[in-house]
Amino acid sequence: MIKTGKVYLVGAGPGDPGLITLKGIQSLNKAEVVVYDNLLDKHLLEQAPAEAEKIYVGKRAGKHAKIQSEINRLLVDKAREGKTVVRLKGGDPFVLGRGGEEAETLAEAGISYEVVPGITSAVAVPAYAGIPVTHRALASSFAVITGHEDPSKESSSIAWEKLATGVDTLVFLMGMHNLPEIVAKLTEHGRPADTPVAVIKDGTSHRQITVVGTLANITARIEESQLSAPAVIVVGEVVNLREKLAWFDNRPLFNKRVLVTRSRHQASALSQLLTERGAQPIELPAIDVQPINDNTELDRAINDMASYQWVMFTSVNGVEAFFQRLNDRKLDSRALGGKKVGAIGSATAKTLEAKGIMPDFMPDTFTGEGIIAGLKSQNIKGQRFLLPRADIADKELISGLARLGAEVKEVAVYRTVPATESIAEARQRLLAGEIDVITFTSSSTVTNLLAAFPEGLPAINNYKVACIGPKTAATAAGAGLKIDIMASEQTIPGLVAAIETYFGKEV
């Protein structure tokens, strides 16, 4: 007999994937089936196991993937298969989300279930627009009202005559289509025509747009702006606080669409910094980092470690690949005992520190010239350097070390190849005008992306180009690209700071 499974009714929050609760993430982590809605950031689905079944049941105006009775039945059927089911719903499942109906169905069927509350858009969306729903000087109460009642009801259950003047702040969900009627009902029952109103579309997302007016003119302003659903409507004096408290859409890179071309496993650091500053990172790597198939040369270097005085790491990838091979051979950081260790870049240094290695050398500037200038005082003449790095790295560093009298052994510990699928998608988005800034963090990201444009550069030269340093910029410029932004500090934070400075000057 198959043991009956369990259903988790999980609130995903209002749109920003960072607003889901920890318990919501934990529920997704163990899901065998995810039944999810329309207004969700699809990145949340990545929190479920890759093998989990994912079923879309989203609803849009006039178009439902499944009607509610079918969704209810689906939850019961999947649980009876013995599955752990996550019903992932936008906002909070019990705030105008029909979660109560789904819970009723599960209870009647004898299915075990748990409710994981979420942050409702009724509070979060106004907050992201700089509008607190309560304020000690302005509003001591607020109400959440559906803007779209069940059409099968014989009459409205909203007591407009009490609601209009009995509550300080009114928040309407799903009310865009009925905005004129909402305005008429409120004014008819005594709400002053000059009461401030805000309509917030796609709240908490990078697409957030806010239109502010009063009950007297908000309908006309919405028609003029052509704002469409989904949107949250806020009515009350607290709306006036937006002018002072707006923060989300006042961030320096708000709504800028930034193409992130670095390898997928490294993209998150850049994407996170961009997101914090309001940008929409679009991760479409131009390179894919892969292990070396034949480790014979690396093993020989490890066996011969006693003959080297220096080990110089030029990237995070080099550190990870080198230490992975040590681990494969049941070795650890003690293999570098007695060696001087160099790190090119702060991220490389931090990765080494995580392995228990404090670098002896890190140049002030991360160019070939900067590295060699920093090593001049190290008296490296006659010393042997091991250089674990990419298979296609240029020879500038080797030549510079040789000029200082050092002997260099270069060993490929990883290889970079074009990420063909994401490059193809990047090409489509660029041609469709869906990008504002292209970021390049290495010469190979430049070369691989530009290879997707055999017809020439005019298709992408309309976009701002941001490079992490002079070497990458030289590759881009040599290919005919116009460089708009270059980091003064050749790090990921430095690149983001340069982008922020550039757009700050445009204001």
Q: What is the pLDDT of residues 326-338, one digit of tens each?
A: 999 999 999 999 9
Identify the active-site residue in 6, 16, 37, 256. Answer: 37
Neighbours of 476 (CB within 10 A): 24
Identify the active-site residue in 59, 185, 340, 471. Answer: 59
Q: How would residue 378 be classed by pLDDT, with cut points 50, 70 and 90?
A: confident
The pLDDT assigned to 458 comes to 67
- Assess whether the previous peptide bond of 230 is cis (omega < 30° from 0): yes
Angle in degrees, 0-180, between the axes of helices 218-225 and 179-188, rounded to the nearest 10: 170
CA 1 to chain CA mean position, Å = 43
The pLDDT assigned to 151 comes to 59
Same fold, 257-286+419-506 and 290-417: yes
Angle of CA points 90, 95, 101, to nearest 5°: 90
For 123-250, the fitting CATH number among 3.30.950.10, 1.10.1040.10, 1.10.560.10, 3.30.450.40 is 3.30.950.10
Strand pairing partners for 146? 173
The pLDDT assigned to 270 comes to 93
Least confident of 84-88, 352-356, 460-464, 476-480: 460-464
State both tokens at 279.
């940008």
The pLDDT assigned to 153 comes to 63
Whether 486 is catalytic: no
- pLDDT single digits (tens) 36-59: 998 788 889 999 999 999 999 987
Highest mean pLDDT among 194-203, 286-295, 396-405: 194-203
Provide, rounded to the nearest whole percent, the portion of the chain with pLDDT above 70: 96
Alpha-carbon gap, residue 21 to 98, rounded angstroms: 19
Whether 41 is catalytic: no
Tell whether domain 290-417 is in CATH 3.40.50.10090: yes
The pLDDT assigned to 16 comes to 93
Mean pLDDT of 350-364: 93
Neighbours of 321 (CB within 10 A): 26
414 pLDDT more than 50: yes
507 pLDDT more than 50: no
Highest mean pLDDT among 142-156, 182-196, 388-402, 439-453: 182-196
Q: Is residue 347 packed enough to be buried (19+ CB in 10 Å), middle (13-18) or exposed (0-12)?
A: middle
Q: Tally helices (H) and strands (E) across the chain.
A: 18, 22
- Helices marked H in 335-442 — which ranges? 346-354, 368-375, 396-403, 420-431
The pLDDT assigned to 373 comes to 86
Residues 385, 388, 390, 392, CA torsion sign:
positive
Counting Cα atoms < 13 Å in the Cβ hemisphere of 292 gives 22
Instruction: Judge contact between 16 and 251, C-beta under 8 A.
Output: no
Residue from 85, 129, 93 nearest 109 by CA: 85
Q: How high does pLDDT run on average in the chain?
A: 92
Determine phi and psi for 467, rounding to 5 degrees.
-120, 145
- pLDDT single digits (tens) 113-161: 999 999 999 999 999 999 999 999 999 999 999 988 765 666 778 999 9
Residue 462 three-state SS: coil
The pLDDT assigned to 456 comes to 73
DSSP string for 260-315: E-S-HHHHHHHHHHHHHTT-EEEE--SEEEEE-S--HHHHHHHHTGGG-SEEEE-S
The pLDDT assigned to 152 comes to 62
How is the chain split into domains, by residue range?
6-119, 123-250, 257-286+419-506, 290-417
- pLDDT single digits (tens) 19-32: 999 999 999 999 99
State both tokens at 92.
């909070």
Whether 59 is catalytic: yes
The pLDDT assigned to 41 comes to 84
379 pLDDT more than 90: no
| CATH architecture, domain defined by 257-286+419-506 | 3-Layer(aba) Sandwich (3.40)
Mean pLDDT of 445-468: 86
- pLDDT single digits (tens) 283-294: 999 999 999 989
The pLDDT assigned to 266 comes to 78
Identify the active-site residue in 41, 78, 83, 174. Answer: 174
Give the homologous superfamily in CATH for domain 6-119.
Tetrapyrrole methylase, N-terminal domain (3.40.1010.10)
The pLDDT assigned to 156 comes to 78
Please name the residue that has the structure tokens 């079923």: 55
308 pLDDT more than 80: yes
Mean pLDDT of 196-218: 96
Residue from 275, 237, 270, 234 nearest 253 by CA: 275
